[in-house]
């Protein structure tokens, strides 16, 4: 590996993940920083990037490229969204330079459901990286699911993101587990209860009614209370996997690429397998660094 040539960062709401890359895009070093934009005061992102992130990776003077919520009104500066359909050139061309050496990647907006619109920040960079990792993926139609707090289901046609839908599954799980009659401090690690939740999800309809089964199975059915988080996780993920493809007009049996955190992708994979759906899993971090590097290269000189 050569010397560090780029500082690449995925800067989200709760955490910042940073890497130094060489001139070929290979990762040299990586580090997490507890600098999520929700924890920062206005104007603090720029200062802490220079005083903590750069020194933390010995990246003084390197060009830097940042994606994620750092480009929102909570972050360094608001970088306008790019409209769908959007590909590498569209996104790279809309990056905002906030200092002579630092650029921020824009998010993407789409029509969403019922004309209400939909948005993403950060997932588009992983998608760009996933496409860059294999040129064949930029041909024809691809469907990509990015699990997370706000899961994204994305349709790509000839290398361009044409439309997407967001499912607030992760956030809904967190809220219900903390503030509702389903609240619990138990860890969601009961595989049998998760499978029962998947089965209870049905076709993803009448979710409000299906959710109450998570309580009824305990108080009326004798199931252990500590199994509730796993059951709830299975029910919510199962309902998402069952219903969201229809919102995108996906054909029965159309394969889906699961892109993201390995643990979350594993849970979604179980939901796909339970419904007999074809899928393949891809590592999110490798896609993120590939996407940041591709955007840096395409935006060089701008």
Per residue in 72-102, pLDDT (tens digit) is 999 999 999 999 999 999 999 999 999 999 9
**pLDDT of 213:** 97
Residues 293, 295, 297: CA angle, nearest 5 degrees: 70
- What SS3 state is found at 232? helix
Quick one: pLDDT band at residue 302, thresholds 50, 70, 90?
A: low
Question: Does the pLDDT of residue 168 top 70, yes or no?
Answer: yes
Q: Is 182 within 8 Å of 215 (Cβ atoms)?
A: yes
Q: For the purposes of burial, counting CB atoms within 10 Å of the CB of 90, is it exposed (0-12), middle (13-18) or buried (19 or more)?
A: middle
**174 falls in which pLDDT band (50, 70, 90)?**
very high
pLDDT at 299: 82
pLDDT band at 44 (very low <50, low <70, confident <90, very high): very high
In this prediction, residue 132 has a pLDDT band, given cuts at 50, 70 and 90, of very high
Closest to 147 measured CA to CA, from 13, 232, 66, 241? 241
Q: pLDDT digits over 251-274, tens only?
A: 777 899 999 999 999 999 999 999
Please determine, looking at this structure, whether the domain spanning 122-302 carries the CATH number 3.80.30.20.
no
Give the per-residue pLDDT at 1: 62
Please, which pLDDT band fits residue 113 given cuts at 50, 70 and 90?
confident
Q: What average pLDDT does the segment 48-53 reach?
A: 96
User: For the segment 182-217, what is each residue's pLDDT rounded down to a tens digit?
Assistant: 999 999 999 999 999 999 999 999 999 999 999 999
Mean pLDDT of 13-26: 96
Would you list the domain boundaries of the chain?
122-302
Counting residues of the chain whose pLDDT is more than 70, the rounded percentage is: 99
Question: Does residue 156 contact residue 144 with C-beta atoms inside 8 Å?
Answer: yes
Q: How many Cβ atoms sit within 10 Å of the Cβ of residue 40?
A: 19
- Provide, rounded to the nearest whole percent, the portion of the chain with pLDDT above 90: 93
Between strands 108-110 and 82-83, the pairing is parallel
pLDDT for 53: 97
pLDDT category at 301 given cuts 50, 70, 90 is low
Taking all residues of the chain, what is their mean pLDDT, rounded to a whole number? 95
- Token pair recorded at residue 227: 């199994």
């Amino acid at each position: 590996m050569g010397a560090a040539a780029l500082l690449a960062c995925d800067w989200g709401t709760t955490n910042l993940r940073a890497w130094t890359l060489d001139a070929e895009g290979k990762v040299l070093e990586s580090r997490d920083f507890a600098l999520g934009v929700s924890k920062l005061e206005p104007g603090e992102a720029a200062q802490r990037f220079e005083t903590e992130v750069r020194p933390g990776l010995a990246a003084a003077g390197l060009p830097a490229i940042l994606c994620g919520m750092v480009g929102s009104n909570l972050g360094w500066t608001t970088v306008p969204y790019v409209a769908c359909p959007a590909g590498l050139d569209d996104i790279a061309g809309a990056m905002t330079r906030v200092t002579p050496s630092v650029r921020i990647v824009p998010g993407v907006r789409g029509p969403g459901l019922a004309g209400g619109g939909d948005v993403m920040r950060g997932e588009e960079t992983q998608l760009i990286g996933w496409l860059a990792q294999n040129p064949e993926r930029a041909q024809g139609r691809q469907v990509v699911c990015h699990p997370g707090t706000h899961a994204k289901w994305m349709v790509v046609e000839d290398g361009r993101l044409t439309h997407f839908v967001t499912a607030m599954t992760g956030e809904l799980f967190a809220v219900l587990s903390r503030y509702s009659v389903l609240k619990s401090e138990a860890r969601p690690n009961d595989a049998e209860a998760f499978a029962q939740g998947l089965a209870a999800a049905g076709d993803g309809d009448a979710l409000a009614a299906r959710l109450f089964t998570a309580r009824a199975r305990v108080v009326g059915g004798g199931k252990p209370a500590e199994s509730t988080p796993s059951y709830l996780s299975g029910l919510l993920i199962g309902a998402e996997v069952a219903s969201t493809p229809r919102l995108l007009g996906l054909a029965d049996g159309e394969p889906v690429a699961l892109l993201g955190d390995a643990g979350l992708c594993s849970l979604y994979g179980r939901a796909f397998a339970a419904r007999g759906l074809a899928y393949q899993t891809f590592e999110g971090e490798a896609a993120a660094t590939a996407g940041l590097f591709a955007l840096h290269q395409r935006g060089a000189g701008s």
